[in-house]
């Protein structure tokens, strides 16, 4: 039996959001999309169930109605910059293909946990595109943008945000890409992918 979620207006419970996420929503500057912010809702959850698969199973939310935000490190020359990729939870971000080409990078890999947490000022497992540093590219799959109501992180493990997908296209630094989310691999493939993502940058396999 699934636990019941109790959605509340996000602007009425800013205490359930990371500080930068609360600031981004409460100080929304784009008048044309302000109504979308008003539709944002927050739900309080068990922080031990913040990871998408565990959350969806416990609370009865379809993976197709959830989106993951992953932080990647882009390397070009001697410089490394961070970016976010937002894709539906039924897919995986095409990091080594579309993302690398779009960022004109020599190599792109998943950012180490410590880097993602310190750079975003959010909790691991709760990182959201809402409230990320303004100079980070935020790459959003078009399927997410076209979703009427998608579930994303809140910046904290103890809650989730429900927002119109179109809101994410209006974020500072947002760039909407077709095909950013690719079909997820088999469970065995996902395990191998997770193990690869956990490797430090110097042990990541070379680009083909």
What confidence tens digit (pLDDT) does each residue in 82-96 have?
Answer: 999 999 999 999 999
Looking at every residue in the chain, the average pLDDT score rounds to 90
Give alpha helix (H) positions in the chain: 19-26, 34-38, 52-59, 100-102, 113-120, 142-145, 165-169, 187-197
For the chain, the structural domain boundaries read: 8-197
pLDDT reading at 205 higher than 80 = no
Rounded-to-integer distance, Cα 43 and Cα 141, Å: 24
Question: What's the fold here for domain 8-197?
Answer: YbaK protein (3.90.960)
> Which pLDDT belongs to residue 187?
54
Which residue is it, tokens 């935020």? 138
> Which pLDDT belongs to residue 189?
47
Q: Give 177-199 pLDDT, tens digit per residue.
A: 999 999 976 554 455 445 555 55
On whether the CB atoms of residues 135 and 171 are closer than 8 A, the answer is: no
pLDDT reading at 161 higher than 50 = yes
């Amino acid at each position: 039996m699934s636990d019941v979620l109790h959605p509340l207006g996000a602007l009425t419970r800013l205490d359930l959001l990371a500080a930068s996420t609360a600031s981004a929503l409460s100080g929304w500057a784009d008048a044309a999309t302000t109504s979308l912010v008003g539709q944002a809702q927050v739900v309080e959850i068990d922080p031990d169930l913040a990871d998408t698969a565990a959350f969806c199973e416990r609370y009865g939310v379809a993976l197709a109605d959830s989106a993951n935000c992953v932080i990647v490190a882009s390397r070009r020359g001697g410089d490394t910059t961070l970016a976010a990729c937002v894709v539906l939870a039924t897919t995986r971000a095409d990091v080594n293909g579309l993302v690398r080409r779009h960022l004109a990078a020599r190599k792109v890999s998943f950012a180490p946990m410590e880097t993602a947490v310190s750079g975003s000022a959010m909790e691991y497992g709760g990182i959201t595109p809402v409230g990320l540093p303004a100079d980070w590219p935020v790459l959003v799959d078009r399927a997410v943008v076209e979703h009427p109501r998608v579930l994303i992180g809140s910046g904290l493990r103890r809650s989730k945000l429900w927002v119109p997908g179109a809101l994410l296209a209006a974020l500072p630094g947002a760039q909407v890409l077709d095909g950013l989310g690719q079909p997820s691999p088999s469970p065995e493939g996902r395990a191998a992918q997770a193990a690869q993502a956990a490797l430090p940058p110097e042990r990541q396999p070379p680009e083909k």
